[in-house]
């Protein structure tokens, strides 16, 4: 169930030429405030503005060439749609993106700017899946799930590997958890590239399926997802949950106001743009200071795609 070190290393080597090695930022003031030594891995500076580029490129490069030429397909209205579009464009193949017909124009424009081909569906999950399946059959394109796909998971983990190569003595790493791809990938990175590391995730109380899944030992779902952290509304899957269950120490839940305050603090002090979902691990650290006191902590800043005309502060 758990990929080997060789799988993880091969994904790292495969992804490397296609992504930015993103910078790691520190802040004396945020260290003083938190009591930890924090290393922020800035995937908001990644191509298309989020870590999702890593998983998309790794998954596409694992598709045999004959199939790859037929393109890839996903249904998403978020960063994974942009990631698949740009990764496919960079590799010279078509990307078909199924989006609900109520998706904001700004998200459609982002996909179009990376030459993704949009198909609009009705808003239900069933309608989206039906349309994706139809296009897949017609085109022969390969379907890519945003988080429950082993090559996507291995790709997402390469951000944490870069961080651990730069800071090998980290005690802990914290990521957000939504669909679980980044968390599972980062946990694999910690297992093979860290030494005696704890792996945590931050999660909104208002979409705490991950926390409940870790408690119950089976995949739980959200009935409502009323959180500003729009990247974290999805649930875990059968490919990433076994990894998370085995390797993750704990999931720390945070309130909406804590997410917004953490986001504002990172904007003000690091002078960087991060999206709400991206502030959740730092909010978790501030919430549970005693767990991280005196520790060297890596935080994956997952992305910076935010609507500047609609900020929560």
Residue 114, number of CB atoms within 10 A of its CB: 20
Site for a second copy in 261-280 (CB under 8 A): 264, 267-268, 271-274
Is there a contact between 33 and 290 (Cβ–Cβ < 8 Å)?
no
Q: Is 112 in the site for a second copy (CB under 8 A)?
A: no
Site for a second copy in 20-49 (CB under 8 A): 23, 44-45, 49
Query: What angle (nearest 5°) sits at the alpha carbon of residue 164, between those of residues 299 and 200?
Result: 40
Q: How far is the CB of 274 from a second copy (least distance, A)?
A: 8
Is there a contact between 260 and 228 (Cβ–Cβ < 8 Å)?
yes
Token look-up 């989006």 returns 99
Q: Is 286 left (phi over 0), alpha (psi -120 to 50) or beta?
A: alpha
Segment interacting with a second copy, rule: CB under 8 A, options 94-102, 144-152, 197-205, 302-310: 302-310
Closer CB to a second copy, 89 or 295, in the complex: 89
Closer CB to a second copy, 45 or 282, in the complex: 45
Closer CB to a second copy, 26 or 195, in the complex: 26
**Longest alpha-carbon distance in the chain:** 57
Q: How far is the CB of 98 from a second copy (least distance, A)?
A: 25
Q: Which residue in the set 102, 216, 223, 309 belongs to the binding site for a second copy (CB under 8 A)?
A: 309
Q: How far is the CB of 270 from a second copy (least distance, A)?
A: 8
Cα distances (Å, whole numbers) of residue 300 to 84, 90, 104, 115, 240: 20, 25, 27, 28, 18
Residues that bind a second copy (CB under 8 A): 23, 44-45, 49, 264, 267-268, 271-274, 304, 308-309, 311, 313
């Amino acid at each position: 169930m758990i990929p080997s070190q060789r799988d993880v290393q091969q994904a790292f080597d495969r992804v490397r030429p296609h992504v930015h090695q993103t910078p790691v930022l520190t802040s004396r003031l945020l260290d003083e405030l938190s009591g930890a030594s924090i290393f922020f891995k800035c995937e908001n500076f990644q191509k298309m503005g989020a870590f999702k580029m890593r998983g998309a490129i790794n998954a596409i490069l694992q598709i045999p060439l004959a199939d790859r030429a037929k393109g890839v397909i996903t249904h998403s209205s978020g960063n994974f749609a942009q990631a698949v579009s740009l990764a496919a464009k960079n590799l010279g193949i078509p990307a078909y993106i199924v989006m609900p017909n109520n998706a904001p124009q700004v998200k459609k424009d982002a996909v179009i700017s990376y030459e993704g081909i949009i198909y609009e569906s009705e808003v239900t999950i069933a309608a989206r899946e039906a349309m994706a399946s139809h296009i897949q059959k017609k085109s022969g394109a390969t379907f890519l799930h945003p988080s429950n796909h082993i090559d996507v998971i291995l790709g997402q983990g390469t951000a944490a590997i870069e961080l651990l190569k730069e800071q090998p003595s980290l005690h802990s790493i914290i990521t957000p958890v939504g669909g679980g791809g980044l968390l599972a990938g980062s946990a694999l990175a910690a297992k093979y590239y860290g030494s005696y590391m704890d792996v945590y995730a931050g999660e909104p109380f208002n979409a705490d399926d991950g926390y409940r899944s870790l408690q119950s030992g089976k995949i739980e779902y959200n009935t409502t997802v009323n959180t500003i952290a729009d990247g974290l509304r999805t649930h875990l899957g059968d490919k990433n949950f076994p990894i998370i269950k085995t390797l993750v120490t704990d999931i720390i839940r945070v309130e909406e106001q804590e997410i917004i305050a953490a986001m504002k603090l990172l904007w003000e002090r690091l002078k960087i743009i991060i999206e709400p979902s991206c502030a959740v691990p730092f909010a978790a650290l501030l919430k549970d200071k005693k767990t991280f006191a005196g520790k060297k902590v890596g935080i994956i800043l997952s992305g910076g795609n935010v609507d500047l005309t609609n900020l929560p502060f």
